[in-house]
Structure 1
Amino acid sequence: MAGPGPTFPLHRLVWANRHRELEAALNSRQHDIEQEDPRGRTPLELAVSLGNLESVRVLLRHNANVGKESCQGWAVLQEAVSTGDPEMVQLVLQYRDYQRATQRLAGIPELLNKLRQAPDFYVEMKWEFTSWVPLVSKMCPSDVYRVWKRGENLRVDTSLLGFEHMTWQRGRRSFIFKGQEAGALVMEVDHDRQLVHTETLGLTLHEPEALLATMRPSEEHVASRLTSPIVSTHLDTRNVAFERNKCGIWGWRSEKMETVSGYEAKVYSATNVELVTRTRTEHLSDQDKSRSKGGKTPFQSFLGMAQQHSSHNGAPVQQAASPTNPTAISPDEYFDPNFSLESRNIGRPIEMSSKVQRFKATLWLSEEHPLSLGDQVMPIIDLMAISNAHFAKLRDFITLRLPPGFPVKIEIPLFHVLNARITFSNLCGCDEPLSSVWVPAPSSAIAASASPFPCEVDPAVFEVPDGYSVLGTERSEPLRDEDDDLLQFAIQQSLLEAGTEAEQVTAYEEQLQLERHVPALGLLPSLSAHGSALPSHASPGRALQESLQMSIEPGSPGSPHGTPPAPPSFEEQLRLALELSSREEEERERRGRQEEEDFQRVLQLSLTEH
């Protein structure tokens, strides 16, 4: 009688890279392709870590989950990049985008079903990026997502499309989802080029090979990943706590209330919100590492790429080791749950820096707001979060157990100096009327109330405008990647290069702002000595750079023999300015804590006197 088969059969085939036997085992459909081994890895994660490309290809063809994160919080794609294998990265990236697309399409029927049962509405979600660093907020973009919902039809308009070639990409796009008997029709409307890309849900899911072929990344995209650090940024909300904000001073303090978009809202602070940023570089060449470290700007450091400590697979390399198994772990050791590997691990030895910063998030919650977070707003956020990192962070935050009320405004951290402030406004066109939305004339006590519901949405907003060309599922451009590391570089580039017209500011305005943060540096020459401010068309980034690069006046105090000292480099001056900004922020928080402690002492004294 045969004994029981080996434990983790798929994993063991992956370990030996016996990909033909792996194919046969998966075809038998007798094994769980997502089973985790004693070290927490699925067969796909193990194959990627070991660099076994043939096994990876087989597992992906059988739809192994590319979106799963390891116990250490690394995605399969990030582990693929760490191998340094271009073919591995291309393959995993292609299937990741394919699975994202199919998830989005597969989730649409449930989304439309939820929306069908909810009241119709129109709402605007304004995204603003803010920062305590001087001028950063001026350079960072904002966007308004405009949302129409009627029956099982949904339309979302946006103007901030993403970023390519290190510049912000803007345009006018509409994403329209229309429920149909056979599934759903999905349309992406490019208003600038008057083009419409359509996808029929049922057709797309039945033609996976055609959809997969459109997801193949370019060689340039793969190369850019292999020559850039792996960056992971996430919010840790495990220990989050909510408390009401207070207002008033000394003997009179009350719970803070503010009016947001016409609704009275209670203001809460979410404490113990940690922003964790980790950066890996083991896949980079010495030249890439040198460029990453030596060429790193102060903004990149402040945006979470500053190295604080490194960790490695610390055991010495043994003679029988391989590049992906540097400590020569045997399969018996690896698959034995009782065997401790201590600091030994498979995969290329990790070179990692990390940064953890604690933040406060702020919420404005209104118990009067008529929108339902769960029924009307969450389905939209779930849909957008599939391909948008910002919405994913918002979803992770608002799915916490929040205090009662609708979050009419939320401010959450995205990076170490960058917050996102999301505000819901213009519900059903009550603030700024729209021709496509109206509230019926009051015919009952309900309709005559202050609530904007019932709300009627013009069905024409879900139709293709006249004169637009309608194309099939073939996309004329690749799906844009929303990974946080690319966003960080785009922000840094926006700060140092020309801005848009909306970001124009004179050198005088910049000087006033910078002098509040660098009063002791003497970096900025006075306008009286150099004439008028820069032209009004000068961008903030360029004006900042030119202002800081100006040399100190000849003969000024501290300049011996009347000769001007060599001015510090722009990067050094900017680093000092940011450090002073950080210290000022810390001092402001310290003063706030001191004032709170003083208030508590005074309050206790007043209570004891009475």
Structure 2
Amino acid sequence: MAIRPVAVMPKFGHMTGKENLEAYPLHKAAFFNDTQTILQLLRNGRRSISEKDMHGNTALHIATMLGHREATALLLANNAPVRTKNVDGWNPLMEAISYGDRQIITEMLRKLKSQTREHLSQRKPHLLKVFKELGDFYLEVKWDFQSWIPLLSRILPSDVCLIYKKGTKLRMDTTLADFGERNWERGDITFLYDADGPRGNQFIIMDNKTKVFQRGRNEESEMEVDEEVDVLMSTDIVNARMSTKTISFQPAYSGWVFKHAREEQLGDYPVTFFTVDGMKLTTRKRREHLSNEDVKKNKSMLTSLATGSMVGDDEFIVR
């Protein structure tokens, strides 16, 4: 049986009763799905739509947790922030996925994409300034996965990415194209990005083997949005946090008997190595919205990725 999260009105120490409810009138209105009061508060400018309670929840969090379609739609229509996270690290879209109302999830996903485009548009002047101030360069980045399991590292993916930067343009070449049957499919893929290019031509993906390309679009079709909602509703809700408060850098040493600071020559530059300690990555997952079949399918997919094979949908048919 799935357990739904319950929204709790904020409590403030010695404050009780009516004082608790009146501390955040917009949250209270969202709690009771009172659209008239929400609209009145927003029109009068008495409360910010981004205001948080003591738990870090916005009014949109509260309306979403309780599945109030009317209050949620009204808050989204007034551009309530979807990316804002509460003290536990969950944003309204994550709460919508947890509740499981497809209509709310779809509306919130569209609003999130719209707000993201607006945010990027506002930051474009700063991005262009950074690109112009940063010198042109060529960079090779080698990455791979390692595992303590014998022989597993040999079949895990690896690649050398070539990155070029000139003016406001970036190019990245990679050979890891897709996942195939028990293999990591190799290819010849190029990503092109022009920060100062015209809208609709800023991002291009090219397949150099098949001689085809695709332009990045600012808006998805209805079918693509529906497919993304399907994925969100059938996979774990994941929140990852990285803390650098306790991070420390220590010089790396080499040598068995007479240890000395590890240094190498990289091109024309001397390089000194450091070890990084104290970096903490915390990952939290929620799956109260998933069925047993969804959990089984996700687990099998992770297993197949680890072994370099893919599992067909027919293997998840419940008989």
Q: TM-score, structure 1 length as denominator?
A: 0.41
What letter matches 2:194 in structure 1?
Answer: F
Normalized per residue, the structure richer in strand is 2
Residues 131 and 137 of structure 1 are in contact (CA less than 8 Å); yes or no, is this contact kept in structure 2?
A: yes
> In 2, Cα distance between the equivalents of 1:215 and 1:29?
35
Which residue of structure 2 aligns with residue 81 of structure 1? 97
Residue 251 of structure 2 corresponds to residue 244 of structure 1: yes
> In 2, Cα distance between the equivalents of 1:86 and 1:229?
16
Which residue of structure 1 aligns with residue 82 of structure 2? 66
Which residue of structure 1 aligns with residue 38 of structure 2? 22
Listed one character per residue, the Cα deviations across residues 531-558 of structure 1 (whole Å, up to 9, x for unaligned) are xxxxxxxxxxxxxxxxxxxxxxxxxxxx
Residue 237 of structure 2 corresponds to residue 230 of structure 1: yes
SS in 2 for 1:279: strand
Q: C-alpha displacement at 1:253, in angstroms?
A: 1.5
> In 1, Cα distance between the equivalents of 2:72 and 2:80?
9
Of 274, 277, 292, 2:280 maps to: 274
Q: How does 1:33-432 map to 2 (within 5 A)?
A: 33-151=49-167, 153-159=168-174, 160=176, 172-179=189-196, 186-191=202-207, 192=210, 194-197=212-215, 211=219, 214=221, 217-250=224-257, 252-260=258-266, 263-286=269-292, 288=294, 291=296, 296=299
SS in 2 for 1:146: strand
Listed one character per residue, the Cα deviations across residues 37-62 of structure 1 (whole Å, up to 9, x for unaligned) are 12221112222222222222222222
> In 1, Cα distance between the equivalents of 2:65 and 2:144?
39
Q: C-alpha displacement at 1:262, in angstroms?
A: 6.0
> In 2, Cα distance between the equivalents of 1:164 and 1:24?
56
Which residue of structure 1 aligns with residue 306 of structure 2? 495
Q: C-alpha displacement at 1:161, in angstroms?
A: 6.2
SS in 1 for 2:202: strand
SS in 1 for 2:278: strand
Residues 27 and 59 of structure 2 are in contact (CA less than 8 Å); yes or no, is this contact kept in structure 1?
A: yes
> In 2, Cα distance between the equivalents of 1:23 and 1:136?
58
Q: C-alpha displacement at 1:18, in angstroms?
A: 1.8
Residues 90 and 217 of structure 1 are in contact (CA less than 8 Å); yes or no, is this contact kept in structure 2?
A: no
Q: C-alpha displacement at 1:13, in angstroms?
A: 1.6
Which residue of structure 2 aligns with residue 10 of structure 1? 26
Relative to structure 1, the CA distance from residue 239 to residue 30 in structure 2 (aligned partners, 3 Å threshold; closer, same or farther) is same
Q: C-alpha displacement at 1:497, in angstroms?
A: 4.7
> In 1, Cα distance between the equivalents of 2:229 and 2:182?
16
Listed one character per residue, the Cα deviations across residues 272-306 of structure 1 (whole Å, up to 9, x for unaligned) are 223323222222235545x37xx846xxxxxxxxx
Q: C-alpha displacement at 1:34, in angstroms?
A: 0.9
Q: C-alpha displacement at 1:15, in angstroms?
A: 1.0
Relative to structure 1, the CA distance from residue 21 to residue 215 in structure 2 (aligned partners, 3 Å threshold; closer, same or farther) is farther
Q: C-alpha displacement at 1:69, in angstroms?
A: 1.9
> In 1, Cα distance between the equivalents of 2:72 and 2:284?
26
Q: C-alpha displacement at 1:99, in angstroms?
A: 2.8
Q: Which of the two has higher C-alpha Rg?
A: 1
Relative to structure 1, the CA distance from residue 143 to residue 52 in structure 2 (aligned partners, 3 Å threshold; closer, same or farther) is farther
Listed one character per residue, the Cα deviations across residues 547-577 of structure 1 (whole Å, up to 9, x for unaligned) are xxxxxxxxxxxxxxxxxxxxxxxxxxxxxxx
Relative to structure 1, the CA distance from residue 110 to residue 25 in structure 2 (aligned partners, 3 Å threshold; closer, same or farther) is same
Which residue of structure 2 aligns with residue 311 of structure 1? none
Q: C-alpha displacement at 1:268, in angstroms?
A: 1.2
* Number of corresponding residues: 287
SS in 2 for 1:179: coil
What letter matches 1:231 in structure 2?
Answer: V
> In 2, Cα distance between the equivalents of 1:95 and 1:216?
16
Residues 167 and 493 of structure 1 are in contact (CA less than 8 Å); yes or no, is this contact kept in structure 2?
A: no
Relative to structure 1, the CA distance from residue 259 to residue 73 in structure 2 (aligned partners, 3 Å threshold; closer, same or farther) is farther
Q: How does 1:448-597 map to 2 (within 5 A)?
A: 489=301, 492-498=303-309
Residues 121 and 148 of structure 1 are in contact (CA less than 8 Å); yes or no, is this contact kept in structure 2?
A: yes
Residues 247 and 253 of structure 1 are in contact (CA less than 8 Å); yes or no, is this contact kept in structure 2?
A: yes
Which residue of structure 1 aligns with residue 315 of structure 2? none
Listed one character per residue, the Cα deviations across residues 246-286 of structure 1 (whole Å, up to 9, x for unaligned) are 22223x22112234466432221111223323222222235
Highest RCO, 1 vs 2 (Cα 8 Å, sep ≥ 6): 1
> In 2, Cα distance between the equivalents of 1:122 and 1:114?
17
Relative to structure 1, the CA distance from residue 257 to residue 109 in structure 2 (aligned partners, 3 Å threshold; closer, same or farther) is same
Unaligned runs of 5+ in 1: 205-210, 298-488, 500-610
Relative to structure 1, the CA distance from residue 190 to residue 67 in structure 2 (aligned partners, 3 Å threshold; closer, same or farther) is same
> In 2, Cα distance between the equivalents of 1:232 and 1:164?
29
What letter matches 1:494 in structure 2?
Answer: L
Unaligned runs of 5+ in 2: 1-20, 311-319
Residues 98 and 215 of structure 1 are in contact (CA less than 8 Å); yes or no, is this contact kept in structure 2?
A: no
